[in-house]
Structure 1
């Protein structure tokens, strides 16, 4: 049994009283196992228990850093065989937990709790090279120092890094709740500071096409490509929204279209990135002209508005359109390549440069908060932006 000495005991240090002697005991956690180990027989003094406290801190530090060797400290312990042979300790393979986490994300997507794009990013991360080092590890044998080193070596932007970190954090949190580990390694990591120190700055920049470049791009299109490109510049839809657009969502008399479906990773969903993403988008005369030009090609099918002309069917992914349409188009037009998402940026910056109200622009883009318009396109906003230029559309119910 434990005995409480007259002097104060360091945390995790106690004195065990036996029939013939008293021994100092230190408590710590290793590989998910609570350990209470006796130190060699010695006189119980204040100095002895203080040294025991220092020893416990040293053990905890080595456990956290991943370089603690149990035999070096407690060669006669009854737990030694457990740590060296694995007997008596149930190993929980991280690879299996990763596969289970991927399945959870896919169920959340099916239940419309997560977007297809988010699920695709997390599942791709779980199956990536960066995760391989963990797949054969026991979940209880992962030190915070290893996680820190793993994150520091990413060499990606903070946004991309979170695609790897988020699934791993979920796995560790569940393992803690299921008593598979006694310490979540992420609880010992200052993630914001670590990412700030190690993440790479994004090289992506907002670089809209000028009016002259837009004209060149549209003129360089093949006849079966031109309506789509002209329409995209006039509506600024996200690629997922553009690919999913149906003729049934076009209101030509009302000069508007309804965005309520997206298509991501070959999957169609009847909801958009945010609640604000479901919206009416106004159609300019140029956008209407592009739709009229597209009617003979796809209207009779009464399905998707925009087809991949090389296959005669709707676009499946944004990458497909980028490679087969956009990459060849830029050099044909004599334009330095910029990624196709710059079309959306061109639409937004053009409206703001023309004096449109930022709230109206944010609504047209499907932003949940106008602050995103100011932070992304601030340099294009007029000083007198408070002056309303158009009435907001009716909210889509």
Structure 2
């Protein structure tokens, strides 16, 4: 029941005080002993709150740090809201927009890198120099460093556009330069040596990789229903990233690829193993299941084959470079090669593989 002080309601061992802040009627419950002294102190507290609101110094968080409204107001206080809280809230709000693989990357960046480094710092405290110093000491590639910063960039950008902060320190932190994947294609002699060290499904997989130009994620997602041997073609529609099937990254990535004779041969040899399963074309012979990602291929198939063949290690992506350089060297139209590779235009082909394009006659 109300004990006479306007804005204060006593209920047993607690009291509710009410006041208007920023045009909103606010009510907060506090535990107090049932004594007149406690009630007088509460009346003084309410009087102090109203005075602070009047002169513009009221700090909701200071008076009621555990209230739901205070927690909501923290988000508008960059001097109180921590980067850790902000990143968790940003990820929760936006997670439905992301592909599974992207969400996994952001979770890793936030919980393994950003929160350990900046989680306890308030939004307002972060400076461009702090980020640069941290990046300088982070033992990761420049590309990975840029990827790690992405959730932090997006969170600060969102807060800036919502006018919660009036400056964004990330605007003064440029992404670090990355080295492009310099093509180091294999010679046909090296290709033969590598394939000679492989048998069965493993040989079929690598032979097809060399002669189709598909990315590893596209190779392991290729299904028999997307293979058209009668018309000598395949349809690249999906990619498998970390065990998750998804559509190709770009519109141009969804494409029709003409089968080179060696790629066709690999598919014909693979039919014995998996065609009747009506599933993905290439399976891991150790598990008799589809490949989940490129790691077991790299570890169990690719690296041992190169070692046995006595060939210097290059990553599996070089099979794609080998495909492109081989077609271009024999005079195929760069625009057609670009389409086979899933590039948006042939400018990328010229940029990456220009040295393999014969001069026009």
TM-score bin (small chain): 0.7 to 0.9
1:358 Cα deviation after fit: 0.9
Q: How many residues get paired?
A: 295
Distance (whole Å) between structure 1 residues aligned to residue 258 and residue 92 of structure 2: 39
2:119 aligned residue (125, 135, 141): 135
Distance (whole Å) between structure 2 residues aligned to residue 351 and residue 321 of structure 1: 25
2:287 aligned residue (292, 311, 314): 311
Match of 1:256 in 2: 233
How do 1:297-336 residues align onto structure 2 when only pairs under 5 Å count?
297-336=273-312
1:365 aligned residue (341, 355, 360): 341
User: What runs of 5+ residues in structure 2 fail to find an aligned partner?
Assistant: 1-55, 75-79
How do 1:190-339 residues align onto structure 2 when only pairs under 5 Å count?
191=174, 195=176, 199=177, 202=179, 204-269=181-246, 271-339=247-315
Distance (whole Å) between structure 1 residues aligned to residue 173 and residue 280 of structure 2: 47
CA displacement, residues 48-67 of structure 1 (integer Å, 9 cap, x when unaligned): xxxxxxxxxxxxxxxxxxxx
1:378 aligned residue (351, 354, 359): 354
Distance (whole Å) between structure 1 residues aligned to residue 63 and residue 328 of structure 2: 67
CA displacement, residues 49-98 of structure 1 (integer Å, 9 cap, x when unaligned): xxxxxxxxxxxxxxxxxxxxxxxxxxxxx98x999999899332222322
- Retained in 2: the 8 A contact 1:120–1:265? no
1:117 Cα deviation after fit: 4.8
Distance (whole Å) between structure 2 residues aligned to residue 311 and residue 375 of structure 1: 40
Match of 1:107 in 2: 96
Equivalent position SS for 1:206: coil
C-alpha change, 1:104 and 1:262, in structure 2 (3 Å) is farther
- Retained in 2: the 8 A contact 1:105–1:119? no
1:159 Cα deviation after fit: 3.0
Question: How big is the alpha-carbon RMSD for the aligned residues of Structure 1 and Structure 2?
Answer: 2.9
CA displacement, residues 339-383 of structure 1 (integer Å, 9 cap, x when unaligned): 111111111111111111111111000011211111111111112
2:153 aligned residue (160, 169, 175): 169
Q: TM-score, normalised by structure 2?
A: 0.74
Distance (whole Å) between structure 1 residues aligned to residue 61 and residue 281 of structure 2: 63
Match of 1:126 in 2: 110
CA displacement, residues 104-141 of structure 1 (integer Å, 9 cap, x when unaligned): 5541135xxxxx55444433322333552111222122
- Retained in 2: the 8 A contact 1:245–1:304? yes
- Retained in 1: the 8 A contact 2:283–2:289? yes
Distance (whole Å) between structure 2 residues aligned to residue 277 and residue 100 of structure 1: 33
Match of 2:48 in 1: none
C-alpha change, 1:131 and 1:95, in structure 2 (3 Å) is closer
CA displacement, residues 263-290 of structure 1 (integer Å, 9 cap, x when unaligned): 1111101x21110001000112221111
How do 1:34-73 residues align onto structure 2 when only pairs under 5 Å count?
none
1:298 Cα deviation after fit: 0.3
Distance (whole Å) between structure 2 residues aligned to residue 268 and residue 247 of structure 1: 15
Q: Which moved more, 1:174-183 or 1:356-365?
A: 174-183
- Retained in 2: the 8 A contact 1:139–1:180? no
Distance (whole Å) between structure 2 residues aligned to residue 101 and residue 263 of structure 1: 27
Equivalent position SS for 1:273: coil
